[in-house]
A and B are shown apart, each in its own frame.
Chain A
């Protein structure tokens, strides 16, 4: 699929699609940072008090940060990781064969007839899929 010039068939992404992927990315990064903190805390190598001291913040602020990604900015991620002596390794992956984005996820709100979304429907099972198995799929 060429992405150089928009044609009459080029579909504009809906605001709901964009919101979904914004949230997805936010959760993914939050999840990675929190897992790193939890592993270090489990091993007794870090505490919230230590993070608060390093960053010159109130411990309650660290608690708020660790309780949800809603107010996070990229600076928050950087600050927390720096205080943990860690960094985020990120890469961009193109899904050229099977586009990542989908419109079917919002069909109940705004029905459309797009063929996209098979991949996410497959993901939407009730059972939680352990990380290791997911990598193998």
Chain B
């Protein structure tokens, strides 16, 4: 991707992140907990290609701390070692930055976001 394309993709990623910051509606297609990743979550910025993933943890309800970012194509399937490694990276970076505080733990979107959030059951197949 050239500089111009890179700039445009960054701009779109920023717009996607601002959906969270400005209190937009959050659904499971946007924010997803990493499988087996403990307290690690990913924000998905899908289009245009390359699809991007921003990884991080919640410090508390409504406060997401982004800790890493990858292009989706670098990560393999959702159960791949790359995703597991990313969960470990999040854990390690969190410890480095915030030890002894633990990240906020929650299994569903509603455990981490207080308002304007989807009930995941309505969005599943």
The residues of A with any CB-CB pair to B shorter than 8 Å are 14-17, 19-24, 27-28, 31-32, 34-35, 37-38, 41-42, 47-48, 59-60, 63, 66-68, 70-71, 105-106, 108-110, 120, 123-134
Contacts and interface: CB of A to CB of B under 8 A. Distances in A.
Contacts of B116: 35, 130-131
B65 to A, nearest CB: 7
Nearest to B30: A68
Given A67-B28, A131-B23, A124 B10 contact: no
Contact of B11 (A19, A35, A67): A19
A102 to B, nearest CB: 10
A70 B47 contact: yes
A71 B6 CA distance: 20
B61 to A, nearest CB: 9
B50 interface: no
A105 B122 CA distance: 35
B46 interface: yes
Given A68-B29, A131-B115, A15 B7 contact: yes
A67 B11 CA distance: 21
Contacts of A63: 123, 125
Given A31-B24, A41-B122, A70-B46, 5 more contacts: A38-B118, A67-B27, A68-B30, A126-B64, A130-B115
Interface of B: 3-4, 6-12, 14-16, 18-25, 27-30, 44, 46-48, 62-65, 113-116, 118-119, 122-123, 125
Given A15-B7, A127-B62, A23 B25 contact: no
A106 B7 contact: yes
Contacts of A32: 25
Contacts of B7: 14-16, 19, 106, 109-110
Contacts of B47: 68, 70-71
Contact of A27 (B16, B28, B123): B16
Nearest to B119: A42
Contacts of A22: 12
B6 A109 contact: yes
Given A68-B47, A106-B10, A27 B125 contact: no
Most chain B beta carbons < 10 A, residue from A16, A21, A28, A132: A16
B114 A17 contact: no
